[in-house]
Structure 1
Amino acid sequence: MSNTVWHGDASIYSVASDEWSPSSAFDKQAQGYVTLGTTNAPNTGQSSSGEGNVELVLHTPCSVAFSSYTVTSRGDQSHLAAAQSPAKMGVYGSTDGSSWTELGSYSGETSWGLGEAKTFSANSTLGLFNYFKFDIRKVSGSSDTAACVSDIELIGVVSDLCADSASHNCDGNATCTNAGSSFTCACNSGFTGDGVSSCSALTVIPPSDIGRGDTWTKDATVTHNSIYTLYKDYSGSVCSGRYRVKTNTDWFAQTGSGVAFSANEWPPSGIFDGNIATNNEKSGFVTGLPQPGTDAGSDADVQAILQTPCLFVLHQYAVQGRSGAGESIQNPSKMSVSGSYDCSGTWTELGSFEGEINWVSEETRTFRADSTLGAFNCFRFTAKRISQGADSHLAIGDIQLFGTEETNVAISYSDIGTGTSWTKDPSVTYNGVKTVYKDYAGSVCPGRFRAMSNVEWWDDNSWYSYGSAERPRAHSSTTRRTLGSAVWTISRT
């Protein structure tokens, strides 16, 4: 990576034949890295009073404590090698890519030959690092010009704690990442936990056996943006009930709500059916009209809403591209996901991604969601751009939701005792009216339950006992009678 635009950069989608990218500085080949020109490398010439700042950063999967490094000048044109090679450079190490420690530097190297390699020392006692920054401050020529490096080689000691399971304590379902002299552990996609003591499998919805997109029922009685919806009743053990899919845009080869699916229809129900999206399978979603590419001036607003029969805390979501190498450019490069309790009104953004390009056929990419925002039963995926520069149809092969199902537990127990078995308590009042409580020792929500009301209740006998016709607020009967308009509350302490 670099902080400066480089020569010949064609686009984010391809590499030009005469491109000199940052990766070329570390590939052991003659053609290396060149900045675009003087506007991108100011103050680098020997005659300039200031200093330039052309950074090349290498991130390595292992940790390295390097004692020296070799810089090689370009090997194609001697006059450019003599003028563009780094005369002054600082070298830094980091374990996170943000906090840097200087490991070495050199200056005054103004004489470079064609393809010449020079080796400089570094301080290996400063430790192991995974990020290495080479900061070119001056070039060898007199005037400001492009900075060029053919190759940079690090020489030192390599440490890879993650390569040997005996050297780290990551969970079996976690990924180990080297971080200097230590490592970090992160649970893999589909799991949650600290990565060390546990990585528990997350629940996936919709379940994989919910049925292909064309087995869902078209329903014109429930619409979204005047477009009919589709639903599927699921009776399995995980989040059972009715799933409903909504979208705000017409889809490819769409037929009416009272008509069978067409041979090559791409309905929104195909987004959540767990099947690979391909032609003539009715599994996967493609818009009926072209949508913005990455070069467009504004985003699209293509919504795919999944309404679930259970409350669900979203931790991660996996997006699979459609099948077919030529159609991968239709996959979303920019998308957000939001949660709601009623599929309308207030939505809470749970996650998003951008810049996801260069998909391959049927590729799946997993993204994090903010699980701390709570449980929802409506999830809106808004696709905003496809993964090529020009506009085209937008496709979503499949989306899986990973998280935890919230189970509704009743807190009105048949074994808690009748209302007259609760204790009247004048020491705790509500709107000046005494409360009643019951201590419960069952397995679900044990502790003290307290009932209260803002009005007196029928036939209240006294603080100490219940009358034969008394109807206290804790009574299980639905025929409580009050002395007027009432508000009653139950709490657990």
Structure 2
Amino acid sequence: MPFALRWQPPSPAGSSIILELPCYIKVKGYTWQARATANPERNPYSMELHGANSIGGPWTAAHSFSGETGWTMDELRTWSADSSPPGPFRFFRFNVTRIDKTEEGKPQGGQAYFLAASVTEDECSAGIHNCDSQEGVCTNTAGSFTCHCNSGFSGDGVSCGIQIPPSDIGRGDIESFSWTKDAAKLYNGFVTIHKTYSGAVCPGEYRVYSSDDWRNNPGVSTSTAGSENLPSSLFDGDFQGSPWKTTNALSGLSAASESSTHVILGTPCHILLAGYAWQAKDTGDPEENPSSLTVSGANSTSGPWTVLHSFEGVTDWTAGEIKSWPVDVRTGPFNFFRFGIRRVMDTADAKASGDQAFLYANRWTEVNECSTGLHNCDPLATCTNTDGSFTCACPSSLDDSGWDAVGVLCGKRIPETHIGRGDSDGFSWTKDDDNLFNGFVTIYKDYSGSVCPGRYRVYSFEDWGSNPGITTTVDTGNENPPSSLFDGSELGKPWNTAASDVASFNASADSNINVMLGTPCYLTPAGYAWQAHELCCQNRNPSKMTVWGGNSTSGPWTAIGSFEGETGWSAGETKTWKSDDRSQRFNFFKFNVKRIQDSQPGKAAGDQAFFWAADWAELDECAAGVHNCDSQATCTNTEGSFTCACTGGLEGDGAACGVRIPPSDIGRGDSESFTWTKDTSTLFNGFVTIYKDYSGSVCPGRYRVYTSHDWGNNPGLTTSIATDENPPSSLFDGNTAGEIWKTQAKVAGLSNTTESEVHIILGTPCSLTLSG
């Protein structure tokens, strides 16, 4: 029977007609016959033939032609397929791209049929099914097929594998809880939950990690609540009891953005994943199941993560239903699997829930994590392979930090715990009002222990609580000095800032609060730790912080590590982080607090801050070139530090060396033994200038002093000098005897809002290159 389609302008798309067959054929050739009665010019000049096994494709090119001209009525033309018979297919698309006519027209044809190399109705034998390629069994049915898994494998036949966790692992729901909560090993501030399985399939410890809170979670505790919806119930192989359910709502179908909530299952074996399944709870609320979900694999909770499969738009969940999916790519193996719930099935935002989630393993193996590098032992620790896992052990020269697990972070704690209290209740450090930093006293402690002995010094960029100012005294029982952060003791008042304006965890911009520790040795930081005060104010602890290392108070600085989103601080809790960079040694460390845990701006605070050092050394600063001695000075190494001494008769403190100008024998310029000359003919800003003619060997000639402001007891525009006068020439006479220079009026102090602009100018008879 002829067909007619409205012709479209010539294009690669053309006009198409699709034929669906009740069987599957491999195409050896095909025919096209012109209409017997009229219009042979409407037959195809060029055409494409494609085959597929669904109307949505994918489409495979079977043949195409172009340049077919001279059609006559009722003419039959035949073409062979391009190569070996493509297929089998049961959908065929004829795409007419041009007709045999100069101007536009409607394509038509009398009939078209195929020359089949083979014909079958059996999808299984034709290999056009979607059963699991390795462990699936395809069974032909009338007009279709079914899939099931080989004996010993679980799944729906489309994806088949060994079910992990095994169904007899033990219940993880609240009604019959046989797993264990681990309050010492947290993930994103929540307890992890583990179970040791001794069966034949993938034996060892399974552990569940949740990025977000679950319903009725009692907090950081090993106990359970009576109506808790535990994430372990997702992986216990049993549909009984209360299912997993989130505390907070996740993005619904209509939400503008997706959620990032995930649950991770850590397995004791390494798995090559074939597929996975999710079961809805059987008590209702199907809208709480995921409509969009991503499953990823890794070999640690921190990744890197490889996406194995994802779906979206699944909106037909029913109570108790199990849905399963094959992975897109069988890669790995992995022993951490992350279920990322991006959206729930509800239109509006809603809580997420699930009764079961399990894996279909194509194969599993007890990998030697030590030899393959799939362990988390410290680089200096010894890794020992065990059945289903591994152990780590720190070397005898280092201590175990106790963080995460044994041997994961090894080092020496610096400062040591017995360095001496630096809090205001038991202050044993020393305030140094001669060495200020940013306008505040520095605080130091000389330590004589075996690990990194020498002088520790603390520098603060900001004021601290109840600071009495530039003094060597401590406000006992009230002050919150920064030295209490580094004294190795939980006793006494902790450090906190004076101001209550540190950015909250949800602020629009970061703060920049810095406390710096200088150590007497150079250390390689393996990790760092921060401890909250045990009695008060957990919301003052940092939720966002960066730790920097350098070799001077001015840097340059290298980031050692950083964190953000830490909003689960509890009283007395110590949090530890591994360093990002273990390639360098430093002896200055800056703790940069950017946000605190509170939801409102407030003070920043902390009880302890310390390092785990992979190594430390009393570095010879002189040999290493990390000193600040002048190029004309001699550097001498000392225990924990160095000294500088000027050479060649030069003067200075060693950090700056040079020829002293004015020379020390220039002659006294004070009012008690005045040898300079007041010049009433050369004024500066209305005041006399004062000069001295020097005839020594160093920079001889006239020195002249100019000042912008009046000095003490100045008798005015006269060449005479008063008995108790404080002339500016006394500043430059190389002598400490007699009256000092002093202004007549007061100038700005530290608390004034604006600065003064008092200046004194010394004119020299020679040109100088200044050293210091």
Q: How does 1:407-422 map to 2 (within 5 A)?
A: 407-408=618-619
> Where in structure 2 are the equivalents of 1:162-181 lying within 5 Å?
none
* Matched residue, 2:268: 62
Once the two structures are TM-superposed, the CA of residue 274 in structure 1 deviates from its matched residue by 0.3
Deviation, 1:384, is 1.5
Work out which of the residue numbers 438, 442, 465 in structure 2 matches 1:252.
465
Deviation at 1:40, TM superposition (A): 3.2
Offset at 1:296?
1.8
Q: Identify the residue that residue 38 of structure 1 maps to in structure 2.
A: 253
3-state SS of paired residue (2:506): coil
1:344 counterpart residue number: 554
Task: Look up the match of 1:384.
Answer: 594
Change in CA separation of 1:344 and 1:162 when aligned onto 2, cut-off 3 Å:
same
Q: Is the 8 A contact 1:252 1:265 kept in 2?
A: yes
The answer for the alignment partner of 2:626 in structure 1 is none
Change beyond 3 A, Cα 1:68–1:177: farther
- Secondary structure, aligned partner of 1:352: strand
Kindly tell me: are residues 345 and 380 of structure 1, through their superposed partners in 2, closer, same or farther at Cα, counting changes over 3 Å?
same
**Preserved contact between residue 84 and residue 139 of structure 1 (Cα < 8 Å):** yes
> What letter corresponds to residue 496 of structure 2 in structure 1?
V
Tell me the equivalent position of 1:208. Answer: 417
Distance in 2 between residues matched to 1:297 and 1:234, nearest whole Å: 42
Residue type of the alignment partner of 1:58: I
Which residue does the alignment assign to 2:449?
A: 236
Question: How far did residue 338 of structure 1 move?
Answer: 2.0
1:207-241 residue CA offsets vs partner (Å, 9 max, x unmatched): 22210001101111111111111111122233222
Asked if residue 221 in structure 1 is aligned to residue 410 in structure 2, the reply is no
Q: Match for 1:305 among 516, 519, 539?
A: 516
| 1:358 positional shift | 0.6
Paired position in structure 2 for 1:289:
499
Deviation at 1:39, TM superposition (A): 3.2
Aligned partner (choices 279, 283, 298) of residue 71 of structure 1 = 279
Distance of aligned partners of 1:187 and 1:98 in 2 relative to their CA distance in 1, 3 Å threshold: farther
| Compared CA separation, residues 395 and 162, structure 1 to 2 (3 A) | farther
Most deviating of 124-133 and 284-293? 124-133
* Worse overlay, 231-240 or 55-64: 55-64
1:242-285 alpha-carbon deviations (Å, 9 max, x no partner): 211111222223234243332132211111100015xxx14x31
Aligned-partner residue type, residue 309 of structure 1: P
Check if 1:150 corresponds to 2:354: yes
How far apart, CA to CA, are the structure 1 residues paired with 2:332 and 2:259? 25
Kept in 1, the 8 Å contact 2:548–2:557? The answer is: yes
CA distance in structure 2 between the aligned counterparts of 1:313 and 1:361, rounded to whole angstroms? 29
For the 8 Å contact 2:528–2:579, the answer to whether it is kept is: yes
Contact 1:250/1:287, CA 8 A, preserved across alignment: yes
1:264 aligned to which of 467, 471, 478 = 478
Instruction: Find the aligned partners of 1:107 and 1:334 in 2 and give their Cα distance.
Output: 34
1:130 aligns with 2:338: no
Q: State the SS of the aligned residue for 2:529.
A: strand
Contact in 2 for aligned 1:319/1:365 (Cα 8 Å) = yes
- Whole-Å separation in 1 of the counterparts to 2:341 and 2:418: 57
Within 2, Cα distance between the matches of 1:36 and 1:138? 5
The residue number in structure 2 matching 1:273 is 487
- Which of residues 301, 309, 320 is equivalent to 1:116? 320
**What amino acid sits opposite 1:374 in the alignment?**
Q
Of structures 1 and 2, the one scoring higher in RCO (CA 8 A, sep 6+) is: 1
Q: Residues of 1 paired with 2:564 and 2:349: CA distance? A: 34
| SS in structure 2 of the partner of residue 38 of structure 1 | coil
Does structure 2 retain, via aligned residues, the 8 Å contact 1:254–1:262?
A: no
Query: 1:389: how far off?
Result: 1.8
SS of match in other structure, 1:305: strand
SS of the equivalent of 2:254 reads helix
**Partner secondary structure for residue 390 of structure 1:** coil
The farther-off stretch of 338-347 and 350-359 is 338-347
**Does 1:314 find its partner at 2:525?**
yes
- Residue in 2 that maps onto 1:433: none
| Paired AA for residue 154 in structure 1 | F
Query: Deviations along 1:425-450, whole A, 9 cap, x unmatched?
Result: xxxxxxxxxxxxxxxxxxxxxxxxxx
Q: Post-superposition shift, 1:35?
A: 3.8
Instruction: Tell me, yes or no, if the aligned pair for 2:542 and 2:597 is still in contact at 8 Å.
Output: yes
- Distance in 1 separating the partners of 2:349 and 2:415: 57
**Aligned partners of 2:496 and 2:604 also within 8 Å:** yes
Question: 1:409 Cα shift?
Answer: 5.7
**8 Å CA contact 2:544, 2:566 repeated in 1:** yes
Equivalent residue pairs, number: 372
Between the aligned partners of 1:258 and 1:137, the Cα distance in structure 2 is: 58
TM-score, normalised by the number of residues in structure 1: 0.59
Q: How far apart are 1:344 and its partner, in Å?
A: 2.2
Q: Deviations over 1:448-481 (max 9, x none)?
A: xxxxxxxxxxxxxxxxxxxxxxxxxxxxxxxxxx
Q: How does 1:361-372 map to 2 (within 5 A)?
A: 361-372=571-582
Instruction: Encode CA deviations 1:143-180: one digit per residue, 9 max, x unaligned.
Output: 89979653333166797969999x999979959899xx
Describe the shift of the 1:236–1:298 C-alpha distance in structure 2 as closer, same or farther (beyond 3 A).
Answer: same
Q: Per the alignment, do residues 407 and 243 of structure 1 end up closer, same or farther by CA in structure 2, a change over 3 Å counting? A: closer
Question: Is the CA contact (8 Å cut-off) linking 1:300 and 1:383 kept in structure 2?
Answer: yes
Deviation of residue 30 (structure 1)? 4.8
Instruction: Label 1:53 to 1:309 Cα distance change in 2 as closer, same or farther (>3 A).
Output: closer
Gaps of at least 5 residues in structure 2 are 1-186, 188-210, 218-227, 236-240, 402-406, 624-772
CA contact (8 A) 2:296 2:306 kept: no
Cα contact 1:41–1:53 (8 A) shared by 2: no
2: CA distance between counterparts of 1:346 and 1:381? 15
- Secondary structure in 1 aligned to 2:537? helix
CA separation of 1:21/1:273 partners in 2, compared to 1, >3 Å: closer, same or farther?
same
Q: Residue 56 of structure 1 contacts residue 135 of structure 1 at CA under 8 Å; is this kept in 2?
A: yes
Q: What SS does structure 2 have at the residue aligned with 1:300?
A: coil
Deviation, structure 1 residue 29? 3.2
1:42-88 CA distance string (max 9 Å, x none): 9xxxxxxxxx99995533253475776342157445xxx3x675689
C-alpha displacement of 1:90: 7.7
What are structure 1's unaligned runs of at least 5 residues?
2-11, 43-51, 193-197, 413-493
Of 387-396 and 131-140, deviating more is: 131-140
The 1:108–1:266 alpha-carbon spacing in structure 2 relative to 1, beyond 3 Å, is: closer
Instruction: Name the CA shift for 1:107/1:223 in 2 (closer, same or farther; >3 Å).
Output: closer
| Equivalent-residue separation in structure 2 for 1:137 and 1:308 (angstroms) | 47
Native 8 Å contact 1:30 1:75 kept in 2:
no
Tell me the TM-score normalized by structure 2. 0.40
